[in-house]
């Protein structure tokens, strides 16, 4: 505990990921806890339970949190900051439910479709990405943060300009868990998970006028036709959805960016990998950054801005 | 029972709808029973239980069935007939698990996206529509049968040429029942169900490059922005989905049909009404035919073809 400087926490709907960090943001210890949706309001208690002796060793460490803990179902509802938003203003927009606890705000915009859009948690990851890579702090960049609700974000000279959400991950889970599309009562077909994913991606690319509402039925009909195995159907579904999201996002944000040749993907490697593969079919170069590392770097940046100079070990 | 001639049944995944009919197909009595998914295999028993004294009055009435009762999870797996399919060949493709019981086949095709596609139950509704309206028996017609899995069907001179499926109804139910998109924990906004539906339809029409994966998030973000009430969100969701399906279907099948000026909608009036409203925004004239009436007419046509001349009261 000698070098412990602050506690960083990514507190989402499903999980709390808590880190004990030194002054440079290096992780000394990790803990996990219940997500916001599983708590009946006692956030201080849940934090104390997860942090354990980190918070009871006599020194009050600052706690910097991001994610749904700052939403209407969280500890405190931290208002969305509107775009365009200089990323270094996130810290100032944070809420302090207790003097030593800071919760990052979400961000709102009017997206390229003219609709209101919001994100919460990803602002800290984008801030972290810029902290980790100085090249991102100047010029115009497109970032994609895949997940339950994927976010496509445009950053210009350190300012979050606008973004766009796609519900790709949520639809995948809904269909996998509840739909008849993946369980047509027939096996048949052969292939591989990777092969089925690539096949779906190619198929979407060849059907430019199609809606994903039409193509999703193929998860079932191809199985009935002996053209896809039950084992490969989830990968085919994933390929259809991600290819549709990537294609529509590049088309939509292409009206904002002269030419899209590079995208920074931030998220779990198991998810950013397939997105990179799809982006490659569009001849877009994709770099991948681990989502947890991005969150941590962003939380460390907020800590440095808010608590620098304040007394702590 | 004096004039009873046959029993017609639309036996789907969720419901059995059974009709006692006279020789002209007029309904004398109606019964309901459990759908295919709720039965553990005893289809003769379930039929007898639902039909009751219709089948125990001493005269063995023919039974004509369509729907998932003819699938791999049904009474008998009746093979799909491939397109192009003269509709009057449906009767000959039926299965007879018992001499007096006939189950209609499904239909398969390679759809406009080059993917295998299937339908089961709708073939009998299309057959019934042609039986009810002689004008449909010649020339080229586009039919839309909205539902859990909507079917867009091209019929040419009494031949089912091809069709295309959209999983619109299933996605609506999945999102309504399981998604966070309709429950953002905030009310706000005002409007009307019809107004919210129309607003979504207009929004989809204005965003031609958008994917429904992107627009679905608006069900949540508009509520958070106070731009849509929780009460109106399901209608907004419905408008987004149906507008996307209609737009993509007209575009996709537009490559097959020189100009689409009319569509026959077959289904529940509560569903065909909204589809007609969306089609009107595309300047496409929509007629509506009740789905149960279409099924009945198709089953009567199959009965007439298979059992005409056979002995029954």
Checking if the pLDDT of A279 tops 80, the result is yes
What pLDDT is recorded for position A7? 97
B167: nearest CB among A178, A217, A225: A217
Chain A, window 141-200: residues with a beta carbon less than 8 angstroms from a chain B beta carbon: 149, 164-168, 170-171, 174-175, 177-181, 184-186
Give yes or no for a contact between A303 and A61, defined as CB atoms under 8 angstroms apart: no
Q: Which residues of A touch B178 (CB under 8 A)?
A: 174, 177-178
Q: Which residues of A touch B207 (CB under 8 A)?
A: 113-114
pTM of the predicted model as reported, rounded to 2 decimal places: 0.94
A118: nearest CB among B175, B224, B245: B224
Distance in angstroms (rounded) separating the CA atoms of residues B193 and B231: 8
Q: Which residue of B has its CA nearest to A167?
A: B213
Q: Which residue has the higher pLDDT, A199 or B37?
A: A199
pLDDT tens for B76-109 read: 999 999 999 999 999 999 999 999 999 999 999 9
What pLDDT is recorded for position B258? 78
Q: Are B214 and A252 an interchain contact pair (Cβ–Cβ within 8 Å)?
A: yes
Handedness of CA A248, A249, A254, A259 (dihedral sign): negative
Q: What percent of chain A has pLDDT over 90?
A: 82
Checking if the pLDDT of A189 tops 60, the result is no
Distance in angstroms (rounded) separating the CA atoms of residues A218 and A225: 10
**Residues B210-215: what's their mean pLDDT?**
96
pLDDT tens for A120-149 read: 999 999 999 999 999 999 999 999 999 999
User: The tokens of B66 are what?
Assistant: 């369509």
Candidates A299, A123, A78; CA nearest to A307 is A299
Angstrom distances, CA of residue A29 to CA of A7, A19, A26, A36, A292: 10, 6, 9, 22, 14
- The backbone torsions φ and ψ at residue A278, rounded to the nearest 5 degrees and listed phi first, read -70, -40
Candidates A100, A99, A152, A96; CA nearest to A122 is A152
Q: Does B85 touch chain A (CB under 8 A)?
A: no
What pLDDT is recorded for position B308? 77
**Residues A43-65: what's their mean pLDDT?**
91
**Residues A185-211: what's their mean pLDDT?**
81
DSSP B84: S
User: The tokens of B224 are what?
Assistant: 């958070």
Distance in angstroms (rounded) separating the CA atoms of residues A224 and A210: 21
User: The tokens of A243 are what?
Assistant: 């290819």
pLDDT tens for A293-313 read: 999 999 999 999 999 765 443
Candidates A91, A150, A146; CA nearest to A117 is A150
- The backbone torsions φ and ψ at residue B174, rounded to the nearest 5 degrees and listed phi first, read -60, -45
B252: nearest CB among A114, A175, A209: A209
A217: nearest CB among B165, B175, B206: B165
**Residues B178-187: what's their mean pLDDT?**
74
Distance in angstroms (rounded) separating the CA atoms of residues A193 and A236: 8
- The backbone torsions φ and ψ at residue A220, rounded to the nearest 5 degrees and listed phi first, read -90, -50
Find residue A141's DSSP bridge partners.
A155
User: pLDDT averaged over chain A?
Assistant: 92
SS in 3 state form for chain A? CCCEEEEEEEECCCEEEEEEEECCCCEEEEEEEECHHHCCCCHHHHHHHHHHHHHCCCCCCCEEEECHHHCCCCCCCCCCEECCEEHHHCHHHCEEEECCEEECCCEEEECCCCCEEEECCHHHHHHHHHHHCHHHHCCEEEEEECCCCEEEEEEECCEEEEEEEECHHHHHHHHHHHCCCCCCCCCCCCCCHHHHHHHHHHHHHHCCCCCHHHHCCHHHHHHHCCCCCCCCHHHHHHHHHHHHHHHHHHHHHCCCCCCCCEEEEEECHHHHHHHHHHHHHCCCEEEEEEHHHHHHHHHHHHHHHHHCCCCCC
> Which residues, at least 6 apart from A175, have a Cβ–Cβ distance to it below 8 Å?
A181, A182, A216, A219, A237, B174
Tell which phi-psi region holds residue B166, choosing left (phi > 0), alpha (psi between -120 and 50) or beta. beta
Q: Which residue has the tokens 């997940």?
A: A147
Distance in angstroms (rounded) separating the CA atoms of residues A302 and A102: 9
Q: What angle do CA B54, B58, B64 make, to 5 degrees?
A: 45
Radius of gyration of chain A (CA): 21
What pLDDT is recorded for position A41? 85
Distance in angstroms (rounded) separating the CA atoms of residues A246 and A202: 13
Give yes or no for a contact between A229 and A191, defined as CB atoms under 8 angstroms apart: yes
pLDDT tens for B72-85 read: 899 999 999 999 99
Candidates B138, B166, B172; CA nearest to B153 is B166
Distance in angstroms (rounded) separating the CA atoms of residues A157 and A136: 8
Distance in angstroms (rounded) separating the CA atoms of residues B112 and A207: 9
User: The tokens of A311 are what?
Assistant: 């007394």
Chain B closest CA to A37's CA: distance in Å? 11
Chain B closest CA to A227's CA: distance in Å? 9
Confidence of residue B186 (pLDDT cuts 50, 70, 90): very low
A214: nearest CB among B166, B170, B221: B166
Q: Which residues of B touch A69 (CB under 8 A)?
A: none
Distance in angstroms (rounded) separating the CA atoms of residues A274 and B224: 31
Q: What angle do CA B198, B203, B208 make, to 5 degrees?
A: 135
User: The tokens of A241 are what?
Assistant: 């959805």
Number of Cβ within a 10 Å radius of residue A276: 18
Q: Does B247 touch chain A (CB under 8 A)?
A: yes
**Lateral strand order in the sheet of A140-145:** A85-86, A159-166, A150-156, A140-145, A262-267, A285-290
Angle between helix B168-178 and B233-253 (nearest 10): 160
ipTM tops 0.90: yes
């Amino acid at each position: 505990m000698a070098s412990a400087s602050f506690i960083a926490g990514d507190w989402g709907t499903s999980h709390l990921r808590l880190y004990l960090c030194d002054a440079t943001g290096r992780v000394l210890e990790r803990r996990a806890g219940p997500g916001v949706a599983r708590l009946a309001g006692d956030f201080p208690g849940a934090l104390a339970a997860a942090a354990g002796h980190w918070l009871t060793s006599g020194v009050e460490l600052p706690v910097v949190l991001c994610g749904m803990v700052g939403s209407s179902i969280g500890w405190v509802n931290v208002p969305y900051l509107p775009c365009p938003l200089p990323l270094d203003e996130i810290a100032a927009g944070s809420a302090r439910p207790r003097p030593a606890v800071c919760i990052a705000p979400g961000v709102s915009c009017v997206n390229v479709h003219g609709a209101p859009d919001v994100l919460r948690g990803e602002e800290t990851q984008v801030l972290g990405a810029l902290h980790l890579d100085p090249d991102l702090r100047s010029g115009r960049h497109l970032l994609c943060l895949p997940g339950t609700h994927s976010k496509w974000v445009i950053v210009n000279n350190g300012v979050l300009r606008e973004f766009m959400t796609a519900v790709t991950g949520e639809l995948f889970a809904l269909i996998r868990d509840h739909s008849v599309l993946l369980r047509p009562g027939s096996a048949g077909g052969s292939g591989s998970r990777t092969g089925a994913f690539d096949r779906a991606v190619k198929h979407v690319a060849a059907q430019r006028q199609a809606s994903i509402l039409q193509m999703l039925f193929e998860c079932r009909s191809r199985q009935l036709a002996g053209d896809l195995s039950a084992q490969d159907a989830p990968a085919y579904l994933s390929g259809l959805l991600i290819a549709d999201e990537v294609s529509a996002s590049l088309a939509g944000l292409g009206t904002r960016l002269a030419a899209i040749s590079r995208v920074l993907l931030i998220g779990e490697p198991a998810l950013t990998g397939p997105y990179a593969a799809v982006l490659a079919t569009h001849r877009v170069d994709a770099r991948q950054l681990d989502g947890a590392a991005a969150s941590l770097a962003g939380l460390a940046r907020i800590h440095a801005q808010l608590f620098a100079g304040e007394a702590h070990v």
